[in-house]
Amino acid sequence: MRRLGVRTGLATLALAALASGCGKDGDTVEPAGGQPLQAPPARALDSYAEKLRAAQAARAAAAKRWGLKKVPLTAPPPPAKKPRITTRDGFEVDGHERLGLPPVFTTVPVEEKVVFLTIDDGAEKDPEFLRMMTELKVPYSAFLSDYVVNDDYGYFKDMQQRGVSLHNHTLRHPYLPALSRAEQEREICGMQDVIEKRYGTRPVLFRPPYGNYDKATLRAAKSCGITHVPLWNEEVFAGHWEYREWDRRIRAGDIVLSHFRGRDDWDGTMRDMVRRFLDKVTAEGYAVARLEDYL
């Protein structure tokens, strides 16, 4: 897959050159009905290939430094046409489609072998985790609850500046179906306000605590500006995996859940969790893609 990425990049440049009517290095070609076009020097392709090799070497060094068994696979470019996201069968509420409520899903329909890593709450704030994910260039999405992030908003600002999108996981992480619709709106819209105030964006993705919701939850979420409710198909911890499906297999497009947790809650660190996650998905031929790029 990595070799394919290099060839694809070079082929794209070559096709662009052909589409522009380019000939050999320094030649000009007369396009139909147009003026002669100057071909780019062949060294432009060499330079691009060299950058790809350098980037791959850096990723390989990072994989070794962080104790991975293999270099993580590189995800393909985001799809130009986004897949149609619908609510998973059995996850609907009454009037779901008629009311235009946000889809609830555990897997994104994709053609490529990609999975998506999502991390919830925000209790553990490990700076080495940020460094690890940055050096490995592995994308992930964060779903935050204010009651555990409010002691260090700066940690997640740093995360955001590294390219991570921050999403809504309520203010206080309650069991939402036990609350009235007005109370649920306060939890969801209140977290929207916190993220907008602290990080300058108003999320459109929301994950209900524990994965539990009812019709009032989705109506409240919609009223707060939420467009999608991603759940998960697998959960990864520092020491093991858990699966929603009976056959305990990862599937293309699956959303994987983890949490911002450390040794106080796990038998390991977030870095241990990342190693377990990446070693498994890489061994099975999956790359990690950015969830937001598919929605």
Residue ranges, the chain, pLDDT below 70: 1-42
Provide the pLDDT for residue 2: 41
Question: Where does 167-263 have alpha helices with state H?
Answer: 181-199, 215-223
Which value, to the nearest 10 degrees, does the dihedral of the CA atoms of residues 33, 12, 288, 278 take? -170
Q: What is the pLDDT of residues 47-57, one digit of tens each?
A: 888 888 888 89
Torsion sign (Cα): 250, 252, 253, 259: positive
Provide the pLDDT for residue 43: 74
Provide the pLDDT for residue 25: 41
**Closest Cα to residue 217, out of 169, 260, 277?**
169
Provide the pLDDT for residue 4: 42
Token pair of 37 as six digits: 């076009």
Q: How far apart are CA 260 and CA 257, in angstroms?
A: 10
Provide the pLDDT for residue 49: 84
Give the position of tokens 């598919």. Answer: 294
Q: Write down the pTM of the prediction.
A: 0.84
Question: What is the 8-class DSSP label of residue 211?
Answer: G
Provide the pLDDT for residue 189: 98
Provide the pLDDT for residue 37: 52
Provide the pLDDT for residue 39: 54
**Could you tell me how many residues make up the chain?**
295
Q: What is the pLDDT of residues 8-22, one digit of tens each?
A: 444 444 434 434 444
Provide the pLDDT for residue 16: 42
Q: How big is the chain by its Cα radius of gyration, in Å? A: 22
Provide the pLDDT for residue 47: 81
Q: How far is CA 251 from the centre of its chain?
A: 16
Provide the pLDDT for residue 50: 85
Token pair of 73 as six digits: 């696979």
Provide the pLDDT for residue 40: 58
* Bridging pattern class, strands 28-29 and 37-38: antiparallel
Residue ranges of domains in the chain, CATH in brackets = 2-56 (no CATH), 69-294 (3.20.20.370)
Token pair of 48 as six digits: 């691009």
